[in-house]
Homo-oligomer: A and B are copies of this chain.
Amino acid sequence: MSTRYPLPDLDQLPEDIQAKILEVQQKAGFVPNVFLALARRPAEWRAFFAYHDALMLKEDGNLSKGDREMIVTATSAANQCLYCVVAHGALLRIYEKKPLVADQVAINWRKADIAPRQHAMLEFAMKVCQRSHEIDDADFAALAAHGFTDEDAWDIAAIAAFFGLSNRLASFSGMQPNAEFYLMGRQPRPKQPA
């Protein structure tokens, strides 16, 4: 990790942050670096993860968890954000149950083995990421042709925009992805009994 912004000790952090981090650790088996890297600024940490959860754990709408991680992976690759591509690429592989899809989306989403509606979704997300000032009615119409509502458009745009923030924080501060992420979801999971 960056020596400029060293990770804080877990036990020095405010209790609510400690509790959330321990919960994540229990679930994932390790503490993703973003949780510690941002925790040196508790107020920003709380807002960041509240925003993250509002967008990524939102229950209604037409975006699957895999769709959301795909947006993150594609736009973070455009921003050349090492942390987010590696960490969210891992989640993308897992949610989509496709060991190859994250690399495809990160390298050239146009050639990735994804559904046409996901292609349209990424087209919109990438425009929000790179040329949001040029978004116009035609962009919403292109989404609607694949069944995305205006609320879905908001979800897509907000995820692209939020991770644009995340990308810039990670890149400027030299945040490194945990080694665990690189390998997650690369092996097809054996079928589980239902």
Contacts and interface: CB of A to CB of B under 8 A. Distances in A.
A167 B166 CA distance: 14
For A47, A133, A134, A153, the residue with the greatest tally of chain B CB atoms inside 10 Å of its CB is A133
Contacts of A104: 82
**Interface bracket on A:** 35 or more
A62 interface: no
**Number of chain copies forming the complex:** 6
A23 interface: no
A36 interface: no
B4 A150 contact: yes
Contacts of A134: 110
A162 B165 contact: yes
B140 A4 contact: yes
A168 B164 contact: yes
Interface string A158-186: 10111011111101111010010011001
B107 A41 contact: no
A80 B99 contact: no
A132 interface: yes
Interface of A: 4-5, 41, 43-44, 46-48, 50-51, 53-55, 58, 77, 79-82, 85-86, 99-100, 103-104, 106-108, 110-112, 128-129, 132-136, 140, 150, 153-154, 157-158, 160-162, 164-169, 171-174, 176, 179, 182-183, 186-187
